[in-house]
């Protein structure tokens, strides 16, 4: 990276990332993705212009440069979705950099992202979601680990939590009342209801957990007492869905999708579901409307006398 980016440009990139982290509460996963995407862009410009890219060259990026960059991504076999994400990161960085350095970023900001069809969420049906919760505890020979995994998956489905939010809970969140205060993406706070079945699942885990609980300690522990690694939840979910014969889309995040879709199917209000999920934009939540419509069409085609 040092061969492609001057120290000044590198410092600007890290300053932008630090501000995104501190002021906007951007997650570390997003920070890592932002850094990689912007570095890829600068490395491309370095090869394209055959010189290291400092602040002055970055301010002179042209429309042909942007077209060449998008063509470069296509040539590497990068899909439209990933290319659009990279371009979005570059644009976000350039808005900040242009304001700080006082140049016009029009060439970058007007670059067109490739079109792609947004993937609809792939929820489980209600029976499969219940089977996932009932079966996940059986994947471990250690009783307390099985109870822990069941408690995590129950929270994902019962409260619509992201896996990072469930694993971010601490001893201070226990005992749980009727609601739970969650700090989600962008440091956005929301209150979610806690079903009795979720409280019972967490209580069963804590009764068996060999590690003493402290207010500042993670609620869900790994085998050695540290914070539970999300990869372990993904792995046990994968084992469970294979045992149940569920599709590869039956992931921990699919439990959150299922929570939203089942609420919508039962007549839940879209705005209220948006709040429960912690979506900043209603358009994100509206994807579940499309899922529900797909379900309704399948029911119609299978049952209506005039269908087909």
Q: Is 181 noted as a catalytic residue in this protein?
A: no
Q: Report how far residue 11's alpha carbon sits from residue 5's, in angstroms, rounded to the nearest whole number.
A: 10
Calculate ∠ Cα 267-294-158, nearest 5°: 45
DSSP state, residue 254: H
DSSP state, residue 173: G
Q: How many CB atoms lie within 10 A of CB 169?
A: 19
Q: How many CB atoms lie within 10 A of CB 293?
A: 11
Q: Is 162 noted as a catalytic residue in this protein?
A: yes
Which residue blocks in the chain are alpha helix, DSSP H? 7-23, 28-49, 55-59, 63-75, 80-101, 106-109, 126-136, 143-159, 163-167, 196-208, 230-244, 252-265, 270-277, 282-285, 287-303
Choose the catalytic residue: 148, 199, 256, 262: 256
Grouping H, G, I as helix, E, B as strand and the rest as coil, residue 170 is: strand
Q: Which is it for the CA torsion 152, 23, 274, 119, positive or negative?
A: negative
Choose the catalytic residue: 21, 81, 91, 185: 185
Q: Report how far residue 75's alpha carbon sits from residue 96's, in angstroms, rounded to the nearest whole number.
A: 29
Instruction: Judge whether 236 and 249 are in contact, CB under 8 Å.
Output: no
Choose the catalytic residue: 21, 48, 253, 295: 253
Report the length, in residues, of the chain: 308
Q: Report how far residue 191's alpha carbon sits from residue 250's, in angstroms, rounded to the nearest whole number.
A: 26
Choose the catalytic residue: 86, 148, 162, 257: 162
Contacting residues for 147 by C-beta, under 8 A, at least 6 apart: 137, 201, 204, 205, 208, 209
Q: Is 81 noted as a catalytic residue in this protein?
A: no
Choose the catalytic residue: 288, 298, 300, 304: 288
Q: Report how far residue 96's alpha carbon sits from residue 102's, in angstroms, rounded to the nearest whole number.
A: 10
Residue keyed to tokens 């409260």: 159
β-partners of residue 5 are: 53
Active site residues: 162, 185, 253, 256, 279, 288
């Amino acid at each position: 990276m040092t061969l492609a980016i001057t120290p000044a440009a590198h410092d600007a990139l890290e300053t932008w990332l630090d501000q995104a982290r501190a002021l906007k509460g951007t997650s570390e996963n997003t920070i890592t993705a932002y850094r990689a995407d912007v570095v890829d862009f600068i490395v491309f410009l370095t090869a394209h212009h055959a010189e290291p890219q400092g602040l002055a060259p970055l301010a002179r990026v042209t429309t042909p440069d942007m077209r060449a960059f998008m063509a470069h991504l296509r040539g590497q076999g990068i899909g439209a979705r990933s290319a659009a994400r990279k371009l979005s990161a570059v644009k976000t960085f350039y808005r900040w950099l242009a304001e700080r350095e006082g140049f016009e970023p029009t060439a970058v900001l007007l670059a067109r992202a490739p079109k792609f069809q947004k993937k609809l969420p792939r929820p489980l049906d209600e029976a499969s979601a219940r089977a996932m919760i009932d079966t996940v505890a059986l994947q471990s020979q250690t009783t307390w680990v099985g109870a822990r995994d069941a408690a995590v998956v129950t929270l994902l489905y019962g409260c619509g939590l992201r896996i990072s939010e469930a694993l971010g809970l601490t001893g201070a969140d226990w005992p749980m009342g009727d609601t739970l205060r969650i700090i989600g993406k962008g440091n956005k706070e929301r209150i979610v209801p806690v079903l009795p079945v979720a409280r019972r699942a967490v209580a069963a885990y804590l009764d068996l957990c060999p590690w003493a609980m402290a207010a500042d300690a993670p609620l869900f522990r790994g085998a050695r007492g540290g914070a539970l690694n999300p990869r372990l939840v993904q792995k046990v979910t994968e084992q469970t869905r294979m045992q149940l014969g569920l599709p590869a889309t039956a992931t921990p995040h699919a439990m959150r999708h299922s929570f939203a879709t089942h609420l919508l199917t039962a007549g839940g209000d879209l705005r209220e579901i948006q709040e429960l999920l912690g979506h900043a934009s209603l358009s994100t939540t509206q994807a579940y409307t499309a899922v529900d419509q797909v379900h309704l069409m399948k029911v119609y085609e299978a049952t209506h006398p005039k269908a087909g």
